[in-house]
Amino acid sequence: DTGVSQDPRHKITKRGQNVTFRCDPISEHNRLYWYRQTLGQGPEFLTYFQNEAQLEKSRLLSDRFSAERPKGSFSTLEIQRTEQGDSAMYLCASSTGDREGPREKLFFGSGTQLSVL
Amino acid sequence: AQSVTQLGSHVSVSEGALVLLRCNYSSSVPPYLFWYVQYPNQGLQLLLKYTSAATLVKGINGFEAEFKKSETSFHLTKPSAHMSDAAEYFCAGGFKTIFGAGTRLFVKA
């Protein structure tokens, strides 16, 4: 178990630029989640995948955000035309999914800190 | 709307003292409840989760939480705080895991 890894750890970009983050889940985990966390708040759900299928997207996920998990393994989260309000920590988590049902344990990566100038 | 509320954004205790971190959930939140801990520069880790097998749940590092349906609460406790417990603690619940805003625990020597 090498854990969930996210890349990069930090990203500084100018407003209007596109950014892409990568998440590598624990290898046998079929469910993958993206969360966003701002200072003083808990993580907010953005979207999740069951294998390669994106099953749900939060209303927080505007059209500028897109997530993919093409082969059911790693996932990418892209933000187009970044805005200052996108500055946050983006967290990825994975789980065994249906095996535990709603009480599934999430394994989190250390996150990607995005700063939009 | 579903929500999880943590009372107190900061809690400070002396080493060896009781730790009590409060969490309440809205009645619309399904009773799938968790406590996660986040140490500096690390990802969130699961401390414990409520599985309905028992209302008192024991987790790692000596923490435990009691599910009280009548009070819609899931407070986290530890009898004796240790310096290494200093971290941010998140209560969470429901499908796709709704998180509270977090409580930062400070432990004084």
- Residue B70 CB partners (closer than 8 Å, separation 6+): none
Res A101 pLDDT > 80: no
- In eight-state DSSP terms, residue B15 is T
The amino acid that residue A1 corresponds to is D
Cα gap B12→A33, rounded to integer Å? 32
Averaged pLDDT score across all residues of chain A: 91
B108 - beta bridge partners?
B14
Contact A42 B99 (CB under 8 A): yes
Better-scored residue on pLDDT, A76 or A39:
A76
Query: For the residues B78-92, what does the mean pLDDT come to?
Result: 96
- Residue B96's pLDDT band (cuts 50, 70, 90): low
Which chain B residue is nearest to residue A103, measuring alpha carbons?
B32
Cα gap A35→A77, rounded to integer Å? 11
Size of chain B in residues: 109
**Sign of CA pseudo-dihedral B41, B106, A38, A106:** positive
Question: What is the least distance, in Å, from the CA of A21 to any CA of chain B?
Answer: 16
Cα gap A89→B44, rounded to integer Å? 12
Task: Lowest mean pLDDT of A9-23, A88-102, B70-84, name the range.
Answer: A88-102
Res A70 pLDDT > 60: yes
Contact A110 B41 (CB under 8 A): yes
Best probe of the A interface among B4, B21, B47, B96, by most A CBs < 10 A, is B96
**Sign of CA pseudo-dihedral B106, A40, B44, B48:** positive
Query: For the residues A54-71, what does the mean pLDDT come to?
Result: 91
Cα gap B20→B40, rounded to integer Å? 20
Cα gap A83→A73, rounded to integer Å? 29
Identify which of B25, B27, B30, B11 has the alpha carbon closest to the alpha carbon of residue B77.
B11
Res A99 pLDDT > 70: no
- Residue B5's pLDDT band (cuts 50, 70, 90): very high
Question: Backbone phi, then psi, for B79, in 5-degree steps?
Answer: -60, -35
Residue A96's pLDDT is what? 86
Beta-carbon contacts below 8 Å between A and B: 55
Contact A105 B45 (CB under 8 A): no
Cα gap A72→A34, rounded to integer Å? 14
Cα gap B98→A73, rounded to integer Å? 24
Q: Which residues in A53-78 are b (16+ Cβ under 10 Å) and which e?
A: ebeebbeebeeebebebeeeebbebe
Residue B11's pLDDT is what? 97
- Residue A102's pLDDT band (cuts 50, 70, 90): low
Residue B94's pLDDT is what? 80
Provide, as residue numbers in chain A, all residues whose Cβ is less than 8 Å from the Cβ of B54. Answer: none
Query: For the residues B1-17, what does the mean pLDDT come to?
Result: 92
